[in-house]
Structure 1
Amino acid sequence: MCSAALSSQPTATTGIVRVVLDVPLDRQFDYLNPGLDIRLGNRVVVPFAGRQLIAIVMALPEESEVPANKLKAVLQVFDDVPFDDTTLKLLRFCADYYHYPFGQTVLASLPLRLRQIKPAVSRKMWMYALAQVVPEGLAGKRQLVLARLLALLQQHSECSEAQLGDVSSSWRKTIQPLLDSGLVSRREVVAIRPSLAASDHEPTLNDEQAHAVKAILDKAGRFQPWLLFGVTGSGKTEVYIRLLQAVLAEPQSQALIMVPEINLTPQLEGRFRSRLSQFSLVTLHSHLSESERLQHWQAAQSGEARIVIGTRLSVFTPMPHLKLMILDEEHDSSYKQQDGMRYHARDVALVRAKQCGIPVVLGSATPSLESWYNALGQAAGPAASQKNPSYRLLTLKNRAAAQAQLPRIFCVDTTHSPPEAGLTPQLKQALTLRLQRGEQSLLFINRRGYAPVLHCSACQWLADCRRCSAKVVLHLRQRLLRCHHCGDEQPVPLQCPSCGNADLRPVGQATQRVEETLQQLFPQARVARVDRDTIQGKDALTELLSAVHAGKVDILIGTQMLAKGHDFANLTLVGVLDTDSALHSPDYRASERLFAQLMQVAGRAGRGDKPGEVLIQTAFPQHALFAALQQQNYAEFANSLLQERITLQFPPAAYIAVMKAEAADYALVEQFLTDLTQSAREFVAQHADAFAEKPMIYDPVRPGIARLNRMERGYVMLQCGQRGALQQLLQAAVAWARQHPMQAKIRWVVDVDALEY
């Protein structure tokens, strides 16, 4: 078993109760037990600073350092014990490694309803069945709903709420008299809905897939990270399914599958429900209602849910019989939390797998350089690593479907073929050809809205955000200028606020404008746009993807929501409209991200029995990145990047952390960061003998967006070739920051292993 329950620990009805709270203080708090039956791990309600808060019991000491007459009493205790020992150990590691208060770490990992004082009640789900023979004539001629419900119940041994709901929206009112009379019975279930009918189709594994499955299962039952490096369409999901079939054959065993974004969950869930219908499955992501999230979390915690599919927060879900962890698209930056505790779910998953002694599979067509570095070890070069690789590398070089081939990739030189309304003549011709053939196309542009800039041609004014040092995006249909960083909205001005010119023009392309252009060029085409503005409803993305699979869409326009994980058999063309801005980014990770993004979106083409083609519009077709992309040679590209990182001593060859600060006045930020830099350098000088390698402490700088939501920002970067030395420096820096006299005037955070500044 992966975990031990805290519920087996001692209970107390008197004495001291030591708890953690969701407050920004890195300490535990003592309270008196007024006679309640309290055990370790219980949720309790305690008074704190004039409020009542949920707390988690960490210890039941015999005495407190605080005098008894100054201790307040626990107000209420709940019966549940949310965490087991292993989960708390993982949370403690994260609080220490990411330098975040332990109480906030613990409470933030709970579903919202377990952080509220009122009793946590999840919506009950029921299965219905006939308990007696249905008397003839029970349903009269005018009782059509009752007749249909009875017919459905007679056809099936049990019916779910979803099945009964398909009959009529008034089914609950109709079935209640049958429950009262005992004609129909019901039982409570945990699963959110029944799995799909088992699929009879089980693809034959090719040699590469079979080798990957065998290699992982041969070392099941112990900690081992596996990097499953497979080209797009190589059948990584089928490998996951076969692993789950084998691992879950053991009674009570559980598996956690993580995806970077919500939009990947429905498709993966559908595949697993149809192929693994014998195992109960739940999902954990932000599109669930709070009632659903609590129910799914409790199903995982109790062990009733055998498979859990979730986004990054699911890495902290208690699962008492966890035997396998899988991270799909492990390279994706969405696994990194960018507020609160800045954890990376991939790294936390590795720690959890090691604590539980189980294998963890990291799958990607474009692995992160960190994972690539760990998988190659000494193979990356003499300067890369003087150790054996800590990951085992498994490679899928070919697409799983015998008839499917990797798409051909071409660069369209926009200096010779200028685009009109965002589309070059070559791309228009390719779209026309697909429409004539009855095939589908995808246009990728990672900008939502109508245009990224609103411009005055007379005085060169550009529309700025009122709260941020960023440009606002024009959303023409809503007649709004919207900041995609802080969410501020303002109406589109009728004239230039600087010179009064009424001729204001949108500059650049975004998804709404491309959609408008396509509707004008191809009025007969069925065009669908997929971005955060159109996919807002709970089932909106699932319904749209179903329409694509049913052939009801000819041209898709999408952002990164469509770049990975989706399999459209009739999609043969991918057009990439704008990539050049990423080539000149000051972020050293920009080329890695761009290559991964383009490789992923290119992989959407030609996944069926028809050849695929990718057209990339760029003014720099000779760039080395595009040369590697056309060859679809990730390994060569990654190795060249890795050598650059090793030379510059950037991650993964070294470790970095960023201390960020913000305030209404930048002078306060600058003073705080200057003092921090001086203190950190003094600490390193005073403890020089303790550092095997001296950390680098850079001067304070401002990020690309210097002002965000009216707060002025700055940061200091710390860098070191040894993780332990960097952690030692961070511990001293955080202790210093917590005692700084400006503590009340600024907000500061630590971002360990930062991905963006």
Structure 2
Amino acid sequence: MCSTSAAPQVTTSASIVRVVLDVPLDREFDYLNPGLVIKVGNRVVVPFAGRQLVGIVMALVNETDIPLPKLKAVLQVFDDVPLDAASFKLLRFCADYYHYPFGQTVLSSLPLRLRQIKPAVSRKMWLYHLAQAVPDALIGKRQQVLARLLALLQQHAECSEAMLAAVSATWRKALQPLLDGGYVSRREVIATRPSMPASAQVPELNDEQAAAVEAILGRLHGFQPWLLFGITGSGKTEVYIRLLEKVLADPQSQVLIMVPEINLTPQLESRFRSRLSEYALVTLHSHLSESERLQNWQAAQSGAARIVIGTRLSVFTPMPHLKLMILDEEHDSSYKQQDGMRYHARDVALVRAKQHGVPVVLGSATPSLESWYNATGDQEHAGGRKPIYRLLTLNKRAVAQATLPRIFCIDTAHPPPEAGLTPLLKQAIEQRLQRGEQSLLFINRRGYAPVLHCSACQWLADCRRCSAKAVLHLRQRVLRCHHCGDEQPIPLQCPSCGNPDLRPVGQATQRIEETLQQVFPQARVARVDRDTIQAKDALTTLLSEVHAGEIDILVGTQMLAKGHDFANLTLVGVLDTDSALYSPDYRASERLFAQLMQVAGRAGRGEKPGEVLIQTAFPQHPLFTALREQNYAEFAQALLQERMAMQFPPATYIAVMKAEATEYALVNQFLTEFSLAARAYVDQHAATLPDQPLIYDPVRPGLARLNRMERGYVMMQSAHRNALQQLLQVAVAWVRAHPLQAKIRWVLDVDALEY
């Protein structure tokens, strides 16, 4: 085993297998083929540094830069369906753009079972179809089962075993004569879960929805990004379904639908299964078992799955017949990977759609400023940038009687809240209970209280491993860090002064749930946060209870802020948002506005009018003024003007070199030398760069210590993407050769959202 290099090539008649591995080395490795049948894209097992690793075959060659006696042999090859050229092309782009080792990029895109040294076996099933016309003489008068099976086969291009079994339990015996006679053929595919019967309810499209569907269908053949900007409840999902009905009418077609979070998958999956039951549908997300994930991934790769719904990693799923891509809630920061390769699934989806020559639909009620800029262009300057995306707007709610909720701000200074709830909010909840309607209280903080405080010496409970406060989880009797996961028992007295009177300060979901149960003892209260939905089907069960009217008041975090449709929910209360107004992050106002618009959109989605009450100490803040008017376009345009003036994205492109170590002195030394080297490169190549990137001095993030590691970063910024990429290519090579890299952890975050 060895890496390729620039040494003179040795030509040999022996077959050489060039492999990438899941190691932090950006290179390919050569191995001898001992006579195995190997194809490009196959999984193989090879020896590496005293252990055995799974690799992916990139090439079969007869030349190597390494003397043959030093080459080791491939140990095993698996006969899985190999990765295709389109997958390699997309993964190569990601490795180059995000400056991540290609081997790790390839292997991390695969299900865990394909990264293990064992065969990846999936359950198979048969699909049946008519091969030729069946003579009437073969269908006797008493062969009613066979007649119904034949009618089903004539109705559908292909029928699954589940569809045939629904006709009769004896379908196999009845169909065998037609198989033997060659009138019916079958093909083996990866098994997929049968869909539910089609729903009888098909809503009529309003004029805006119909225009959006018609526009996209008119440009199906070729790459075209669409921004579907629709207010909450405007029926974007129905637009998606109508697009799928047309696209999937072609038997050689697949559609990828992406959602930002797992909790949006069950509801979306249910709607698509009920309306498009004839098409095999699979999901890909981290709540699946490894066996289920492999099964669904291989169903997509084989083409057996016609619809794939998944979270960000699904953007890499091989789909040989991909014809359309849809990203729901495209603005959501969950599409950005925050460990390993720091890719943004939305941006990767756009690249994949362009490589495949297919349209991509980005849907949101509050688009990201990057997408808004790409869809509207630079409206402030004559001759400025023209729109890249096509903009489609849905301004009306899909349910004819439904209207946008009214939004009000409650000044928490007059009077102040009691246990987190103002009198006006309590009164509004009581009114809903009397009318048999549902309420939702939104507070994006789980646990019982964010701080445990000593009133005598002002001690606050800190995390032992981070520069963050430990959150009180009263029911579990622990202090827990939400950044590193560290847990410690609740002290009986203040560790600083011995005072036994320790008090929780602030509100979180557990404490609000407790307060509601005390104030409204007759109400059925449910809490929805990461602590309550750890079980696999917990969220699905809870949402079913909400739809069935078995819950009166929901308390939850951002899990409830988007994607859910509760017809009887007429009140949304927002308890604490002011902390975001103090954030130094230039994206904070964009995120807060989007979050509040999304959670406000849960109210009044049915025929009953909705109301949103926001508790804040700053009711006259411009953000709340824009929110009450529910005019995202005007708010986004104002934010864009600020970004242009300050030269922040999307006016410029940024990348962040992050480093951490047990001592900050090492981090500071590394980042200081990095920034000096980067500036020197820019100065030396100023004449050839399309723009001179700006390199800032090293700084510490807001969370300066995480899991006992001291952190820092250097931000790089340029008005031209190519100039920044040229700098990053040289910068990464400099880092990999730096002597301190063995003592620190570093990562390059291109198009970073967090510092």
Q: TM-score, length-normalised on structure 1?
A: 0.90
Residue in 2 that maps onto 1:518: 516
CA distance in 1, matches of 2:80, 2:426: 61
Q: CA deviation at 1:381?
A: 1.5
CA contact (8 A) 2:257 2:307 kept: yes
Residue in 1 that maps onto 2:480: 482
CA distance in 2, matches of 1:451, 1:540: 24
Spell out the pairing of 1:607-626 with structure 2 (5 A cutoff).
607-626=605-624
CA distance in 1, matches of 2:170, 2:330: 38
Residue in 1 that maps onto 2:111: 111
Secondary structure of the structure 1 residue equivalent to 2:327: strand
Residue in 2 that maps onto 1:387: 385
Q: CA deviation at 1:126?
A: 9.5
Output the amino acid matched with 2:713: Y
Output the amino acid matched with 2:516: L
CA contact (8 A) 1:223 1:357 kept: yes
Give CA-to-partner distance per residue, 1:452-508, whole Å, 9 cap, x none. 000000000000001100001000000000000000000000001011110000000
Residue in 2 that maps onto 1:706: 704
Q: CA deviation at 1:569?
A: 0.3
Residue in 2 that maps onto 1:280: 280
CA contact (8 A) 1:21 1:55 kept: yes
Q: CA deviation at 1:62?
A: 1.1
Gaps of 5+ in 1: 1-11, 134-152, 161-185
Output the amino acid matched with 1:225: P
Secondary structure of the structure 2 residue equivalent to 1:113: helix
Output the amino acid matched with 1:528: A
Q: CA deviation at 1:14?
A: 4.4
Output the amino acid matched with 1:35: G
> Which shifted more, 318-327 or 687-696?
687-696
Output the amino acid matched with 2:268: L
Secondary structure of the structure 1 residue equivalent to 2:326: strand
CA contact (8 A) 2:273 2:281 kept: yes
Output the amino acid matched with 2:343: Y
1:71 paired with 2:71, answer yes
Output the amino acid matched with 2:253: S
Against the structure 1 CA distance between its residues 555 and 416, is the aligned structure 2 distance closer, same or farther, given a 3 Å change threshold?
same
Residue in 2 that maps onto 1:244: 244
Secondary structure of the structure 2 residue equivalent to 1:446: coil
User: What RMSD over aligned residues (CA atoms) do the two structures have, in Å?
Assistant: 2.1
Output the amino acid matched with 1:122: S
CA contact (8 A) 2:123 2:190 kept: no
CA contact (8 A) 1:228 1:393 kept: yes
CA contact (8 A) 1:122 1:292 kept: no
Against the structure 1 CA distance between its residues 155 and 49, is the aligned structure 2 distance closer, same or farther, given a 3 Å change threshold?
closer
Against the structure 1 CA distance between its residues 545 and 490, is the aligned structure 2 distance closer, same or farther, given a 3 Å change threshold?
same
Residue in 1 that maps onto 2:161: none
Residue in 2 that maps onto 1:646: 644
Spell out the pairing of 1:373-384 with structure 2 (5 A cutoff).
373-378=373-378, 380-382=379-381
CA distance in 2, matches of 1:627, 1:325: 35
Residue in 1 that maps onto 2:506: 508
Q: TM-score, length-normalised on structure 2?
A: 0.90
Secondary structure of the structure 1 residue equivalent to 2:46: strand
Residue in 2 that maps onto 1:168: none
Residue in 1 that maps onto 2:150: none
Q: CA deviation at 1:122?
A: 3.2
CA contact (8 A) 2:189 2:302 kept: no
Q: CA deviation at 1:417?
A: 2.0
Residue in 1 that maps onto 2:290: 290
1:226 paired with 2:226, answer yes
Q: CA deviation at 1:191?
A: 4.4
Give CA-to-partner distance per residue, 1:654-675, whole Å, 9 cap, x none. 0000000011111110000000
Residue in 1 that maps onto 2:314: 314
Q: CA deviation at 1:690?
A: 1.1
Q: CA deviation at 1:112?
A: 0.4
CA distance in 2, matches of 1:564, 1:190: 33
CA distance in 2, matches of 1:16, 1:299: 31
Give CA-to-partner distance per residue, 1:18-46, whole Å, 9 cap, x none. 10000000000011111111111111000
Q: CA deviation at 1:187?
A: 11
Residue in 1 that maps onto 2:750: 752
Residue in 2 that maps onto 1:447: 445
Q: CA deviation at 1:254?
A: 0.2
Output the amino acid matched with 1:540: A
CA contact (8 A) 2:41 2:56 kept: yes
Query: Could you tell me the percent identity over the aligned residues?
Result: 81
CA distance in 2, matches of 1:47, 1:596: 50
CA distance in 1, matches of 2:579, 2:369: 22
Residue in 2 that maps onto 1:140: none
Q: CA deviation at 1:125?
A: 7.3
Spell out the pairing of 1:117-516 with structure 2 (5 A cutoff).
117-122=117-122, 156-157=167-168, 190-378=190-378, 380-382=379-381, 386-516=384-514
Secondary structure of the structure 1 residue equivalent to 2:363: strand
Give CA-to-partner distance per residue, 1:617-653, whole Å, 9 cap, x none. 0000000000000000000100000000000000001
CA distance in 1, matches of 2:554, 2:170: 37
CA distance in 1, matches of 2:208, 2:649: 31
Secondary structure of the structure 2 residue equivalent to 1:255: strand
Residue in 1 that maps onto 2:130: none
CA contact (8 A) 1:261 1:334 kept: yes
Q: CA deviation at 1:692?
A: 2.2
Q: CA deviation at 1:60?
A: 1.2
Give CA-to-partner distance per residue, 1:314-369, whole Å, 9 cap, x none. 00000000000000000000000000000000000000000000000000000000
CA distance in 2, matches of 1:159, 1:741: 72
CA distance in 2, matches of 1:541, 1:214: 35
1:588 paired with 2:599, answer no
Alignment equivalent of 1:556, drawn from 545, 554, 571: 554
Q: CA deviation at 1:157?
A: 2.3
Q: CA deviation at 1:121?
A: 2.1
Give CA-to-partner distance per residue, 1:179-208, whole Å, 9 cap, x none. xxxxxxx99874442111101211111000
Q: CA deviation at 1:80?
A: 1.8
CA contact (8 A) 1:13 1:33 kept: no
Alignment equivalent of 1:540, drawn from 538, 541, 553: 538
Number of aligned residues: 699
Residue in 2 that maps onto 1:597: 595
CA distance in 1, matches of 2:118, 2:254: 30
Gaps of 5+ in 2: 1-11, 128-142, 145-163, 172-185
CA contact (8 A) 2:192 2:280 kept: no
Against the structure 1 CA distance between its residues 503 and 159, is the aligned structure 2 distance closer, same or farther, given a 3 Å change threshold?
farther
Against the structure 1 CA distance between its residues 154 and 639, is the aligned structure 2 distance closer, same or farther, given a 3 Å change threshold?
closer
CA contact (8 A) 1:123 1:291 kept: no
CA distance in 2, matches of 1:714, 1:656: 16
Secondary structure of the structure 1 residue equivalent to 2:643: helix
Give CA-to-partner distance per residue, 1:85-112, whole Å, 9 cap, x none. 1111000000000000000000000000
Residue in 2 that maps onto 1:737: 735
Secondary structure of the structure 1 residue equivalent to 2:573: strand
CA contact (8 A) 2:189 2:299 kept: no
CA contact (8 A) 2:39 2:82 kept: no
Residue in 2 that maps onto 1:664: 662
Residue in 2 that maps onto 1:85: 85
Residue in 1 that maps onto 2:3: none
CA distance in 1, matches of 2:63, 2:189: 44
CA distance in 2, matches of 1:692, 1:527: 59
Output the amino acid matched with 1:45: V
CA distance in 2, matches of 1:549, 1:450: 27
Output the amino acid matched with 2:449: A
> Which shifted more, 386-395 or 562-571?
386-395
CA distance in 1, matches of 2:39, 2:278: 36
Q: CA deviation at 1:568?
A: 0.2
CA distance in 2, matches of 1:641, 1:208: 27
CA contact (8 A) 2:255 2:306 kept: yes
CA distance in 1, matches of 2:682, 2:90: 29
Residue in 2 that maps onto 1:720: 718
Against the structure 1 CA distance between its residues 13 and 284, is the aligned structure 2 distance closer, same or farther, given a 3 Å change threshold?
farther
